[in-house]
A and B are shown apart, each in its own frame.
Chain A
Amino acid sequence: MSLVGRFDTPGSLRDVPAGSPLYDRWHATIGALIAPSTPLSGPGAYVDPSERDLDVTATRAYTWTGFSRPLLMKHRDDRDAAFAEGEDRSTQIEYLEWHVARDPSGVIVRVTFTTETPEYWKALAAVAPNRVVALYRELVDPAVRSKDLFKANGRYDPLNRWNTTHGIVHYIMPINSMRDLLGVSQEVERTGAALDGYGALPYGRETGADARINLDLWSINRKGYAVATADPPGPLIIDWDDSGWTDPAGEPVGDHWRVVRGVRGAALRVVYEVPPAAGYRVGDIRIGGRPIAFGGQLAEHVIMSAHGVIDRGAS
């Protein structure tokens, strides 16, 4: 009997009632992205937990930072340049994308983060288009219309304006997807001969997320362990760090994080917005003494995770 009977939806969301075909479709979507067994580096293997019985003897959280590592490496001497470039969704490639809302004066008033994948929303749109419209209205703007989200042929448009220029619901960057997350998880160590993390250098990919997942999984495989995604699969926001963030009076800011989908510690969608009663805006906050001018300054302090299970008994 396999460890996972049916892959659950991201964050175990229940956007449609039990019994909806979404749940079987989602399981099939995930199953198609995981090979039965892939040796990555050594005698172990990355396996499909829906096809393998696993004796889970350990779990592992793979954590990384939400802001683009490639941008910080590109602009080592000019952090502001990295943040400025990071406003472009096409640069948000650590499985965290965000949308910045500013007031008429240009000051940031809200930053919305998402870890949701296009695959899930396509699957949802295929079985419950009206629910997709309703969720967009709830999450982004009541003005959303069905024709904004669906093309003339009825197909869902992931690049609709409410998920790009006017808001955010799920990833649009091509390398942010469930396919990519599970794909990199099954990537074979380049040299084929690495005996430790140093032996895997130079490592080609620049994102923190890919390195984190690859290096950890390769090491697990070298032990001869079987490793698989935890259920449900997918990237999450595991934590954030707003220590050292101060309001205009120089006092620590209140807790302005609001989890909209998922839960604290395993969030899919988070909004950072200061309540009107506080009397200041996001853009009035200073992080370590520096005023917030870009959403990426917050993303730098958002910590991502993906989760795995390990069977140390068999590969």
Chain B
Amino acid sequence: MNSDAAIALAALAETQTALLSGVELPASSGDAAARLGRAAAETVGAEAVAAESGEVTGDQMPAGSGRTPQALADEPVYDADAAADIQGNIVPGFNKDHQHFLFLRFGSIDGAREWVGWLAPRITAMDEVLDFRREFRALRLRLGVREPGLSATWTAVAFSFPAIAALAGHTDARAFGEQSFRQGLAERSTYLGDPTDPDHRGHRANWVVGGPDNEADALVIVAADDPNDLDAMVDEILDHASAHGITLLFGQRGDTLPGNLQGHEHFGFKDGISQPGVRGRRATSPDDHLTPRFLDADDPHAELFAKPGQPLVWPGQFLLGELRQHHQDPTIPAAPASAFPDWARRGSYLVCRRLHQDVVGFWEMATAAAAAMGTTPVRLASMLVGRWPSGAPLMRSPDADDAALAGDEFANNHFLFDDETRPSALVDLPGYPGDTHRPATEDLLGKVCPFAAHIRKVNSRDSGTDFGAPADTFLRLMLRRGIPYGEPIAGIADPSPELETGERGLLFAAYMASIEDQFEFVTRRWANSPVQPNVGGVDPIIGQRDVRGDRRRTVDLPAADGSTTTIELQEDLVTPTGGGYFFAPPISALRGTLAAG
């Protein structure tokens, strides 16, 4: 690794980002966690912290303040049965610091069905995760601490198309209208731009799991705050699987990065900041929204966003059979999807990709390109991502990283691309001083955040795209549930050669109602294309492109003098090494059709 790249990489851990959304918690009341008799979690994921702190403040809205959030009349209400039926990793998401992905292959069908029946009561439902979050935020407020000492271990499961056919029968399997799911990830691999050269590590034949000869029947995701709890649950699941003739094809442990890099991916950038908010609420109370609302009803975009930069999306974009997003108007629902068997309602497709990251290669590329453009490696790398390593968006901090901005969840995702971003009207948020960070100005021509920057590629926000007005972009959003795997090198000074070449990357996982119209659309049409949604090159972070074996990709970057520099990505910095297309059924189906046959 060259010295400039090493310096840039080592310095990534120096920035300490606030993790409480810019909200000041009330003074600590001491060791109340111990008084509650709960095992203190050692760590809590940065994303979860941010989300929880947001919910804290939302619930603290003074009565009669006159500032109220907005909800549309047609938004669905989930009763107790429904809330116990939806898997909790779909909504609201586990977001635990430690996770284990288990890719399993069935033996006998009878054994598989029995195992599914055993697993069913161990699958975590939406209501359990939502309740945990509610308790977490209440404790945080009472204790006045960021880590209130709650921990949990949760489990999710999903099945491949062949597994569904085996468990539920071919007639039911054929009722799934999603062609990509029926085909599987391996068959769609080169359509996603993956390498066509069989000698390339990223060729599907070389995948650790999910290739033509090693496709998994089931993917179990176990998530925990405590690594020991995680291991115990994994062992229990695998023991029962083995007893039912099920083998572990591949297992991958995932962990959030340590210290200041918590919540970052291996290149060193904060990940998962921008997630869609799911519309709807539980029946428990009128304000028990699946996604907490922070925009005051008077805000011009209150019907569209849960908080600044977080679009509200109809749940049918993620859960089969629910009201979907209308293709022209985000404020009215469209009819639910219908191409699935009855028992699959409220299930979701799960796309998993094991993406190897060449961290040293990434920073060497950034260093070389930075030298050519007369800027710093960190700035250049940030142009490729669209955010600084802390997560602060270039659109709001064009010249330097800004940890305070990054830590303010009401500001760090509040920007448009084509027009100036106006201040939001928020509900009353005790402890929040307001968004005082530099506002984002328009960047219609991609001079601040390049058109090819990852965050601009995969979510064009307010811009028109090659496929429609901004309303169409709502149709493309996914619920991302990924986590890094492998030993980190970011933030390590003078890493050993073994560490430099170590295996690390991202376990990409995302839930959606249409693999083709969401994951594949974003991947192929936007990330991989040099001209979609805008002319300017491929997504330098996740873009794959293979035209008859030619994997050269270019990215256009704006230079300080207003000119454009085109850099060529010589190497594959992100390489697919496994995964699969799965369906995460409702929990009722695990107890019923899929266990009984």
User: Do A and B interact with each other, yes or no?
Assistant: yes
- Whether A208 pairs with B468 at a CB distance below 8 angstroms is yes
- Whether B418 pairs with A244 at a CB distance below 8 angstroms is no
- Whether B464 pairs with A197 at a CB distance below 8 angstroms is yes
**What are the residues of chain A within 8 A of B192 when measuring CB–CB?**
244
Cα A241 to Cα B524 in complex, Å, equals 9
Is residue A305 within 8 Å, beta carbon to beta carbon, of the partner chain? yes
- Whether B419 pairs with A305 at a CB distance below 8 angstroms is no
Is residue B333 within 8 Å, beta carbon to beta carbon, of the partner chain? no
Residue in A61, A195, A200, A246 whose CB lies within 8 Å of B469: A200
Number of A-B contacts (CB under 8 A): 166
- Whether A64 pairs with B528 at a CB distance below 8 angstroms is no
Residue in B180, B334, B418, B469 whose CB lies within 8 Å of A203: B469
- Whether A198 pairs with B304 at a CB distance below 8 angstroms is yes
Residue in B188, B329, B331, B419 whose CB lies within 8 Å of A289: B188
Residue in B331, B442, B465 whose CB lies within 8 Å of A223: B442
- Whether A288 pairs with B191 at a CB distance below 8 angstroms is yes
**What are the residues of chain B within 8 A of A219 when measuring CB–CB?**
418-419, 442, 444, 463-464
**What are the residues of chain A within 8 A of B535 when measuring CB–CB?**
61, 63, 238, 305
Q: Chain A's nearest CB lies how many Å from the CB of B396?
A: 16
- Whether A196 pairs with B327 at a CB distance below 8 angstroms is no
Q: Which of A182-212 contact B (CB under 8 A)?
A: 195-204, 206, 208, 211-212
- Whether A65 pairs with B467 at a CB distance below 8 angstroms is yes
Is residue B339 within 8 Å, beta carbon to beta carbon, of the partner chain? yes
With A206-B328, A219-B419, A223-B444 as known contacts, state yes or no: A288 contacts B467, CB within 8 Å.
no
- Whether A215 pairs with B190 at a CB distance below 8 angstroms is no
Is residue A161 within 8 Å, beta carbon to beta carbon, of the partner chain? no
Is residue B193 within 8 Å, beta carbon to beta carbon, of the partner chain? yes
Main secondary structure, interface of A, reads mixed
Cα A223 to Cα B419 in complex, Å, equals 8
With A197-B419, A201-B471, A219-B418 as known contacts, state yes or no: A76 contacts B337, CB within 8 Å.
yes
Mask of B242-259 contacts with A, CB within 8 angstroms, 1/0: 000000000000000000
Cα A201 to Cα B463 in complex, Å, equals 12
With A197-B416, A197-B469, A198-B304 as known contacts, state yes or no: A211 contacts B444, CB within 8 Å.
no
Is residue B214 within 8 Å, beta carbon to beta carbon, of the partner chain? no
**What are the residues of chain B within 8 A of A202 when measuring CB–CB?**
328-331, 471
Is residue B196 within 8 Å, beta carbon to beta carbon, of the partner chain? yes
Cα A69 to Cα B324 in complex, Å, equals 17
- Whether B462 pairs with A198 at a CB distance below 8 angstroms is yes
Q: Chain A's nearest CB lies how many Å from the CB of B121?
A: 32
- Whether B422 pairs with A195 at a CB distance below 8 angstroms is yes
Is residue B546 within 8 Å, beta carbon to beta carbon, of the partner chain? yes
Residue in A58, A196, A289 whose CB lies within 8 Å of B418: A196
Q: Chain B's nearest CB lies how many Å from the CB of A95?
A: 12
Cα A61 to Cα B418 in complex, Å, equals 15
Cα A229 to Cα B514 in complex, Å, equals 37
| CB-based nearest B residue for A67 | B467
Q: Which of B511-530 contact A (CB under 8 A)?
A: 514, 516-517, 524-525, 528-530
Cα A249 to Cα B269 in complex, Å, equals 41
Q: Chain B's nearest CB lies how many Å from the CB of A287?
A: 7
Is residue B74 within 8 Å, beta carbon to beta carbon, of the partner chain? no
- Whether A63 pairs with B524 at a CB distance below 8 angstroms is no
Cα A60 to Cα B339 in complex, Å, equals 40
- Whether A78 pairs with B339 at a CB distance below 8 angstroms is yes
Most B CB contacts (10 A, CB to CB) among A63, A69, A288 go to: A288
Is residue B470 within 8 Å, beta carbon to beta carbon, of the partner chain? yes
With A63-B534, A203-B328 as known contacts, state yes or no: A241 contacts B469, CB within 8 Å.
no
| CB-based nearest A residue for B460 | A197
- Whether B470 pairs with A198 at a CB distance below 8 angstroms is yes
Is residue A158 within 8 Å, beta carbon to beta carbon, of the partner chain? no
- Whether B177 pairs with A77 at a CB distance below 8 angstroms is yes
Is residue B66 within 8 Å, beta carbon to beta carbon, of the partner chain? no
Cα A223 to Cα B188 in complex, Å, equals 42
| CB-based nearest B residue for A73 | B327
- Whether A288 pairs with B329 at a CB distance below 8 angstroms is no
- Whether B419 pairs with A196 at a CB distance below 8 angstroms is yes
With A197-B463, A219-B444 as known contacts, state yes or no: A243 contacts B191, CB within 8 Å.
yes
- Whether B470 pairs with A243 at a CB distance below 8 angstroms is no
- Whether A199 pairs with B300 at a CB distance below 8 angstroms is yes
Is residue A8 within 8 Å, beta carbon to beta carbon, of the partner chain? no
Cα A66 to Cα B352 in complex, Å, equals 30
Interface residues on B, range: 35 or more
With A197-B416, A288-B191 as known contacts, state yes or no: A76 contacts B517, CB within 8 Å.
yes
Is residue B545 within 8 Å, beta carbon to beta carbon, of the partner chain? yes
| CB-based nearest B residue for A201 | B471
With A65-B525, A69-B468, A201-B469 as known contacts, state yes or no: A220 contacts B444, CB within 8 Å.
yes
Is residue A290 within 8 Å, beta carbon to beta carbon, of the partner chain? yes
Q: Chain B's nearest CB lies how many Å from the CB of A24?
A: 32
Cα A110 to Cα B181 in complex, Å, equals 30
Q: Which of A208-257 contact B (CB under 8 A)?
A: 208, 211-212, 214-216, 219-220, 222-223, 238-239, 241-244, 246, 251-255
Cα A242 to Cα B547 in complex, Å, equals 7
Q: Chain A's nearest CB lies how many Å from the CB of B576?
A: 13
Is residue B35 within 8 Å, beta carbon to beta carbon, of the partner chain? no
Cα A73 to Cα B326 in complex, Å, equals 9
Is residue A140 within 8 Å, beta carbon to beta carbon, of the partner chain? no
Is residue B173 within 8 Å, beta carbon to beta carbon, of the partner chain? no
Is residue B532 within 8 Å, beta carbon to beta carbon, of the partner chain? yes
Q: Chain A's nearest CB lies how many Å from the CB of B341?
A: 14
Is residue A303 within 8 Å, beta carbon to beta carbon, of the partner chain? yes
Mask of B314-342 contacts with A, CB within 8 angstroms, 1/0: 00000000001001111100100111000
- Whether B469 pairs with A288 at a CB distance below 8 angstroms is no
Cα A195 to Cα B422 in complex, Å, equals 9
Is residue A79 within 8 Å, beta carbon to beta carbon, of the partner chain? yes
Residue in A222, A244, A254, A303 whose CB lies within 8 Å of B531: A303
Residue in B191, B337, B338 whose CB lies within 8 Å of A287: B191
With A73-B327, A76-B517, A252-B548 as known contacts, state yes or no: A246 contacts B339, CB within 8 Å.
no
Q: Chain B's nearest CB lies how many Å from the CB of A25?
A: 32
Cα A79 to Cα B339 in complex, Å, equals 12
- Whether A211 pairs with B468 at a CB distance below 8 angstroms is yes
Cα A219 to Cα B463 in complex, Å, equals 9
Is residue B372 within 8 Å, beta carbon to beta carbon, of the partner chain? no
What 6 A-B pairs come out closest when comparing CB atoms?
Answer: A215-B464, A288-B191, A244-B191, A197-B462, A202-B329, A203-B469
- A-side residues, CB < 8 A to B, are 58, 60-61, 63-65, 69, 73, 76-79, 195-204, 206, 208, 211-212, 214-216, 219-220, 222-223, 238-239, 241-244, 246, 251-255, 287-290, 303, 305, 310
19 A–B contact pairs at CB < 8 A? A63-B466, A76-B324, A78-B177, A196-B416, A200-B469, A208-B466, A211-B464, A216-B463, A219-B464, A223-B444, A243-B546, A244-B188, A252-B190, A287-B191, A288-B188, A288-B191, A289-B188, A303-B529, A305-B535
Besides A201-B471, A203-B328, A212-B464, 13 new A-B residue pairs in contact (Cβ under 8 A), listed by A number = A63-B532, A76-B514, A197-B464, A201-B328, A203-B471, A211-B472, A223-B442, A223-B444, A244-B193, A246-B190, A255-B548, A289-B187, A303-B531
